[in-house]
Amino acid sequence: MTQIDAAVLTDTTAGRAAVVPGGRGRPGRAPTGWRRWRVQVGLIALTFVPAVAGAFRLTELAGDPPVTADNERFVASPAPVVLHIVGATVFCLLGAFQFDPVLRRRRPRWHRAAGRVLIPCGIVAALSGLWMTVFSDLPAQDNAALNAIRLVVGTAMAASLVLGLVAARRRDFAAHRAWVTRGYALGLGAGTQAFVIAPWMMVTGNPTGNFRAVLMLAAWSINLAVAEWALRRGRASRPAGQASRAWISRVAWRRRADSERAMARNKASQSAGSW
């Protein structure tokens, strides 16, 4: 994630409607033009390299390719890699637009409908990645340390998305936004890895072993650090009244749900008593 993306992500994770250069908000004014869409452009740019690589891999697998050392594990078991590529691509591309506060406010139904697609896709991408890590042969350039890192990251991504879904069902939208942002940051790791590893490939060739594990861990760490920074800055700049209204809304929803359950129990008991 770039510095520009981080500045805008701060405002989008906080749910604010205004963005000015440098990431400072001006309440009451909706961002327009480049200032509104620059975070989506940055996130889609990060997705571009792994999405293109994934498309080439799917095309290769669809054409009954000759088996090589590079594709042997995919040809032997294509289903996990197909699920991983499709799930991760949809998750990262469509998920970029979930960070637009204007779209969330003006099209809440679209936001919810997209979320019902994105979270399953993200979970499928994480679980299929875990499956390949555990059951596929280890690539020549990887080692056990990188596999262990992949297991931690994949588990953390899936858990973050599940926690985000649970929070949304509780109508705790601040927690929902935080957990889904973390899951998205981890899911976007392949894009950042392309930019982190590319300079080393141009100078010394494809990194291997522990050095490759360090570079890939650095990419995931960069994404997660930017997401956490944006979330914390967003909470710090969130107006107190907005936080209070969100808390009151959650309390009112819970009281209404409790009241409806009590009424349903009373009706059930009255029906049982009439017999």
Q: What is the rounded end-to-end Cα distance, in angstroms, of the chain?
A: 65
pLDDT reported for residue 168: 93
pTM of this prediction exceeds 0.85: no
Per-residue pLDDT tens digits for 92-115: 999 999 988 888 888 889 889 999
Structure tokens at 225: 């650090």
Count how many residues are written for the chain. 275
Of 128, 163, 133, 140, residue with least CA distance to 209: 140
**CB-count exposure of residue 35 (10 Å: 0-12, 13-18, 19+):** middle
Q: Please check whether residue 223 is in contact with residue 193, taking contact to mean a CB–CB distance below 8 angstroms.
A: no
pLDDT, averaged per 10 consecutive residues of the chain (275 residues), comes to 42 39 44 71 91 93 85 89 96 91 86 93 97 90 94 97 95 94 96 91 88 95 94 70 48 65 71 56
DSSP labels, 139-150 = PTT--HHHHHHH
pLDDT reported for residue 254: 63
Of 84, 153, 176, residue with least CA distance to 122: 84
pLDDT reported for residue 122: 97
From residue 12, give the alpha-carbon distance in Å to each of 19, 120, 162: 9, 22, 21
Amino acid, res. 214: V
Residue 2, SS3 per DSSP: coil
Of 244, 240, 192, residue with least CA distance to 219: 192
pLDDT reported for residue 1: 53
With b meaning 16 or more CB within 10 Å and e meaning fewer, what string describes 119-148?
bebbbbbbbbbbbbbeebeeeeebbeebee
Measure the CA–CA gap between 220 and 227, rounded to whole angstroms.
Answer: 11
Measure the CA–CA gap between 55 and 122, rounded to whole angstroms.
Answer: 18
pLDDT reported for residue 201: 87
Amino acid, res. 47: T
